[in-house]
């Protein structure tokens, strides 16, 4: 008997009329680890929400969902609450209470457990998830990764048989994300809990999956082991192929044959095998031309020092860097290192107490605040929602600029024309990001600051967003972006810097920069560095592969 059986499930929301799910059939065995992937709006979340009656959306529905062989709706709410765990996307909003220990116990309290059981389960969970150290803390003092781990632990305390995770790491930084996903994997291996998970970043989980299910337009378009799904998506020329882990993409785009590598290690072995005893005609892609010395940088920060309070430690400790006009400048670095603070210092939101900031050759202090944010500088905050203050996207744009033509032009660049009448909160993550971008572009900035612009975006939205950035660059706008997203920076930035311990350490072009790193670099670089040098993107590796194979032939 399968754990979950979905039979011919079709569903449409009351508004829109289009079928969000059509004829979905899926059978999940006990203890399986299933990765569900698909573009935003392909129906992943809608499908996941059908796994639990209280979360099931309202709308028209046909078909059946069986849990342990019984129709889901005949199973009591209490039993469902305990047996089917559900982790959602936003770590913050899922938390109900103000203390870590209370949140851990929340589900057990709801089920009406007695003190003895609760004590034991809470203790078990805190120990298993390594929460003892922050057991008594206020929830408000936790990092995003800790919050999401707490959500998971609170659900695991009810000892569910199935764990459903809907993009659980989209709001986390890469290190917290892989920690979280490793914990999920551990739960699956050690407790035998069935896992169904959707994710944008497949690198960390794809190889571990027993089965990968691909959704497109509300239908399941592929469903098989990771290796077979990779081959299938490549054969179908599916859009989803671009979201697969780097080794898989490199393998198929190179046109290689044999067993497809899923992890960096396998990719490394495959490349080493392929080019063993084979002279390489070209071992590295051309390095980008060194940045030309421009006469006036768009932004120059010199020896900037900043701390939030008099007694608190310095966040910026003598930051110095220059951003050449017209470039896309990326700053990478760990979480909480102070990258966002640096952007705020550029805007004057955080006032540095020593050092200087010059925007287009003029000291920040000499700008009047109106002049600085008009036709000069603008910042896209980490959470684009922070910018939304109106009922529709149209009103958001109108707030910024009275000129209808300008508005239309910017909306066109950001591809949000069709969304004008929507409420900003009804948009998907990628659309919100573009609407927010449109809003700040209406100040006609020449220097654009982006704080973690790819956070929570899937690979399609990322590509789209990169396209927009390139367009803006072509118009002469200088872009400074801070990001955790190494892959994105390697592919699209002109210059990359690393921020560590309150300082900018080095600045270089992506190939030079990532080429010399061995840990903090892209998956493509890590898997290819045994054979090639300075190949930092999947395209780089594929190109080198082709040159060397064809050179031999």
Partner 1 sequence: MKKSALFSILVIVLLIPATLYLGSRLSGHWYYLTSTLIIVEIMIPFFLAFETRRPQARELVTIAVMAAIAAASRAVFAFIPHFKPITAIIMITGIAFGPEAGFLTGAVAAFASNFIFGQGPWTPWQMMAFGIGGFLAGLLFHNRKLTAKPLWNAVILAVYGFFSILLLVGPLLDSCTIFTMGTEITPAFVGTILLSGAPVNVTHGVSCAATMLLFSKPLLEKLERLKTKYGMMEARRDGV
Partner 2 sequence: MKSDAFGRFHPAVCFLYFVGAIGFGVVIQHPAYAAAGCIGAACYYLVLRGRAAWKRVLSLLPIFALLSVINPLFNTAGSRVLFFVFGRPYTWEALCYGMAIAAVFVVMMLWFSCYNLVMTSDKFTSLFGNLIPALSLLLVMVLRMIPSFLRKASQIQHARQSIGKSVGEGSRISEKIRHGMTVLSALTDWALEGSVVTADSMRARGYGTARRTNFQIYRMTAADWTLLVLIVLLAAAVLLAGGTAAAYTPVLSIEPLTWGFAAYCLYVLIPTALHVKEAVLWRISISKI
The nearest distance, CB 424 to partner 1, in angstroms, is 12
Q: Which stretch binds partner 2 (CB under 8 A): 132-140, 188-196, 295-303, 459-467?
A: 132-140
The nearest distance, CB 302 to partner 2, in angstroms, is 21
Direct distance between the N- and C-terminal alpha carbons of the chain, in angstroms, rounded to an integer: 53
| Footprint (CB under 8 A) of partner 1, residues 208-227 | none
Q: What count of residues does the chain have?
A: 553
Is residue 423 a contact point for partner 1 (CB under 8 A)?
Answer: yes
Is residue 449 a contact point for partner 2 (CB under 8 A)?
Answer: yes
- Closest to 200 (Cα-Cα) out of 159, 236, 245, 230: 245
User: How does DSSP assign 350-371, residue by residue?
Assistant: SPPSEEEEEETTEEGGGS-HHH
The nearest distance, CB 305 to partner 2, in angstroms, is 20
Contact 401, 374 (CB under 8 A): no
What stretch of H or E contains 178? helix 174-191
Say how far apart CA 454 and CA 460 lie, in whole Å. 11
For residue 94, the partner it binds in partner 1, partner 2, none, with Cβ less than 5 to 8 A by kind, is: partner 2
Is residue 312 a contact point for partner 2 (CB under 8 A)?
Answer: no
Is residue 379 a contact point for partner 2 (CB under 8 A)?
Answer: yes
Say how far apart CA 294 and CA 324 lie, in whole Å. 6
Which pairs count as long-range contacts for 118-122, CB under 8 Å and 24+ apart, including other chains? 121/157, 121/159, 122/157
Is residue 120 a contact point for partner 2 (CB under 8 A)?
Answer: no
Residue with tokens 């982790």: 87
Is residue 362 a contact point for partner 2 (CB under 8 A)?
Answer: no
- Of 93, 259, 403, 475, the one binding partner 2 by CB under 8 A: 93
| Footprint (CB under 8 A) of partner 1, residues 365-404 | 391
520-533 burial: b if 16+ Cβ within 10 Å, else e: ebbbbbbbbbebbe
Is residue 402 a contact point for partner 2 (CB under 8 A)?
Answer: no
The nearest distance, CB 273 to partner 2, in angstroms, is 47
Say how far apart CA 360 and CA 363 lie, in whole Å. 8
For residue 460, the partner it binds in partner 2, partner 1, none, with Cβ less than 5 to 8 A by kind, is: none
Residue 17: exposure state from Cβ atoms within 10 A (0-12, 13-18, ≥19): exposed
121 Cβ contact list (under 8 Å, min separation 6): 108, 113, 157, 159
For residue 140, the partner it binds in partner 1, partner 2, none, with Cβ less than 5 to 8 A by kind, is: partner 2
The nearest distance, CB 49 to partner 1, in angstroms, is 13
For residue 268, the partner it binds in partner 1, partner 2, none, with Cβ less than 5 to 8 A by kind, is: none
Residue 20, both tokens: 């969000």
Binding mask 34-63 vs partner 2 (x if CB under 8 A, - otherwise)?
Answer: ------------------x-xx--------
Contact 285, 534 (CB under 8 A): yes
The nearest distance, CB 540 to partner 2, in angstroms, is 35
Is residue 1 a contact point for partner 2 (CB under 8 A)?
Answer: no
Contact 213, 35 (CB under 8 A): yes
The nearest distance, CB 312 to partner 2, in angstroms, is 16
The nearest distance, CB 130 to partner 2, in angstroms, is 19
Q: Which of 17, 112 has the CB closer to partner 2? A: 112
Question: Three-state SS for 83?
Answer: helix
19-28, strands of its sheet edge to edge: 19-28, 4-12, 60-67, 70-71
The nearest distance, CB 223 to partner 1, in angstroms, is 32
Q: Which of 423, 546 has the CB closer to partner 1? A: 423
- Of 113, 126, 233, 498, the one binding partner 2 by CB under 8 A: 113
Cβ-based neighbour number of residue 458 at 10 Å = 25
Is residue 370 a contact point for partner 2 (CB under 8 A)?
Answer: yes
Contact 437, 468 (CB under 8 A): yes
Q: Which residues make up the interface to partner 2 (CB under 8 A)?
A: 52, 54-55, 76-78, 81-82, 85-86, 88, 90, 92-99, 101-102, 105-115, 118-119, 122, 138-140, 151, 154-155, 158, 344, 347, 349, 369-370, 372-374, 377-379, 381, 383, 385-389, 399-400, 425, 439-440, 443, 449
Q: Which residues make up the interface to partner 1 (CB under 8 A)?
A: 58, 391, 423
């Amino acid at each position: 008997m399968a754990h979950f059986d979905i039979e011919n499930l079709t569903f449409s929301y009351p508004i829109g009329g289009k079928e969000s799910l059509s004829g979905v059939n899926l059978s999940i065995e006990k203890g399986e680890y299933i990765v569900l992937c698909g573009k935003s709006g392909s129906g992943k979340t809608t499908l996941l929400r059908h796994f639990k009656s209280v979360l099931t959306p309202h709308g028209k529905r046909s078909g059946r969902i069986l849990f342990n062989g019984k129709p889901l709706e005949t199973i009591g709410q209490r039993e469902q609450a305990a047996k089917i765990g559900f982790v959602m996307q936003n770590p913050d909003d899922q938390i109900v209470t103000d203390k870590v220990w209370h949140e851990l116990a929340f589900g057990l309290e709801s089920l009406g457990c007695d003190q003895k059981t609760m004590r034991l389960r809470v203790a078990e969970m805190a120990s298993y998830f390594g929460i003892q150290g922050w057991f008594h803390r206020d929830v408000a003092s936790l990092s995003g990764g800790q919050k999401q781990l707490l959500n998971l632990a609170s659900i695991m305390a009810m000892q569910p048989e199935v764990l459903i995770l809907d993009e659980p790491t989209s709001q986390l930084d890469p290190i917290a994300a892989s920690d979280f996903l490793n914990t999920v994997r551990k739960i699956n291996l050690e407790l035998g809990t069935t896992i169904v998970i959707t994710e944008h970043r497949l690198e960390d989980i794809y190889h571990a999956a027993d089965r990968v299910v691909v959704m497109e337009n509300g239908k399941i378009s592929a469903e098989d082991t990771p290796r077979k799904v990779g081959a299938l998506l490549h054969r179908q020329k599916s859009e989803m192929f671009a979201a697969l882990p780097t080794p898989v993409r490199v393998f198929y785009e190179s046109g290689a044959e044999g067993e497809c590598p899923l992890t960096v290690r396998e990719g490394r072995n495959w490349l080493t095998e392929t080019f063993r005893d084979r002279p390489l005609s070209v071992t590295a892609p051309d390095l980008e031309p060194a940045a030309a010395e421009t006469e006036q940088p768009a932004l120059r920060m010199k020896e900037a020092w900043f701390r939030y309070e008099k007694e608190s430690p310095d966040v910026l400790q003598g930051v110095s860097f220059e951003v050449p006009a017209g470039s896309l400048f990326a700053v990478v670095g760990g979480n909480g290192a102070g990258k966002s603070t640096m952007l705020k210092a550029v805007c004057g939101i955080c006032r540095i107490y020593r050092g200087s900031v010059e925007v287009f050759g003029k000291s920040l202090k000499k700008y009047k605040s109106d002049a600085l944010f008009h036709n000069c500088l603008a910042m896209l905050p980490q959470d684009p929602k922070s910018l939304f203050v109106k009922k529709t996207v149209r009103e958001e744009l109108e707030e910024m600029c009275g000129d209808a033509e300008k508005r239309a032009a910017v909306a066109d660049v950001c591809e949000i024309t069709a969304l004008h009448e929507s409420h900003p909160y009804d948009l998907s993550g990628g659309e919100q990001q573009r609407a927010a971008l449109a809003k700040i572009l209406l100040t006609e900035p020449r220097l654009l600051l982006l704080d973690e612009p790819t956070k929570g975006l899937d690979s399609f939205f990322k590509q789209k967003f990169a396209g927009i950035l390139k367009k803006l660059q072509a118009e002469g706008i200088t872009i400074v972006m801070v990001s955790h997203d190494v892959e994105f920076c390697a592919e699209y930035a002109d210059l990359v810097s690393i921020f560590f311990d309150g300082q900018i350490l080095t600045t270089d072009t992506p190939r030079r920069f990532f080429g010399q790193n061995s840990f903090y670099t892209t998956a493509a670089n890590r898997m290819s560095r045994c054979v090639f040098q300075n190949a930092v993107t999947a395209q780089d590796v594929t190109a080198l592969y082709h040159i060397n194979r064809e050179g031999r032939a």
